[in-house]
Amino acid sequence: MFIAKFYWRRIMNVYYRLLVLIVSVTGVLSFTGCNKTQEDASKSAAGTTVGTEIDDSIITTKVKSKLLADPDIKDFDLKVETHKGDVQLSGFVGNQAQIDRAIVVARSVEGVKNVDNKVSLKKDSVTTMGIKVDDSVVTSKVKSSLLADPDIKSFDIAVVTHNGEVQLSGFVDNQTQIDRAIDIARRTESVHNVINELQVKK
């Protein structure tokens, strides 16, 4: 219940900020005599409206909450990205049954149009604390490098690491960004392999 309230507060906070932004943009456009409509002003470069982005973040939050509440998969670091109702799942789990369960849970969420499974099986089931710490350091380094790169600078790329194998997932604007993200991840210290699950926004 606490988690649901926490996520709901975060969603509402984002909603109000976006609402203020829309009102501000509309006011500026009206003042300058610009003929653009509010819908034109709220569209992003990828053709996604602010309303769609809010819907996508609500879906993402609902899917994450359901995954965390499920006893069979709650202990795994599964990433969830949503674009126009299409949900992408990524991360590492121990067996195929857990992948199947995650897909069923995601599909059960209202508003989900499609579930794209990018979840990988762990190559071994034995993970020491040292490896977990190293993996989290690698994940942090890759995320920092992606955010620092002027061609990417994306919060929409999920990064998960297991035994030095990095999985990139999420939605980006073009193939060039995918290639750049893979290159950045490969050049990061201690990365043994990069699994690309990134998709270009439609």
pLDDT digits (tens, 9 = 90+) for 60-84: 999 999 999 988 887 788 889 999 9
Hey, CA dihedral for 190, 196, 197, 202, is it positive or negative?
Answer: positive
DSSP 124-176: -S---HHHHHHHHHHHHHHHHHHHH-TTT--SSEEEEEETTEEEEEEEES-HH
* Span 11-24, average pLDDT: 56
Q: Are 51 and 42 in contact (CB under 8 A)?
A: yes
Q: Is the pLDDT of residue 129 over 70?
A: no
Q: Is the pLDDT of residue 99 over 60?
A: yes
Among 10-14, 78-82, 154-158, the range of highest mean pLDDT: 78-82
* Span 38-55, average pLDDT: 55
Higher-confidence residue: 16 or 177? 177
C-alpha–C-alpha distance, residues 132 and 128, integer Å: 6
Structure tokens at 114: 């499609």
User: So what's the pLDDT on residue 111?
Assistant: 93
97-101 contact pairs (CB < 8 A, 24+): 97/72, 98/72, 98/73, 101/70, 101/72, 101/73
User: So what's the pLDDT on residue 58?
Assistant: 92
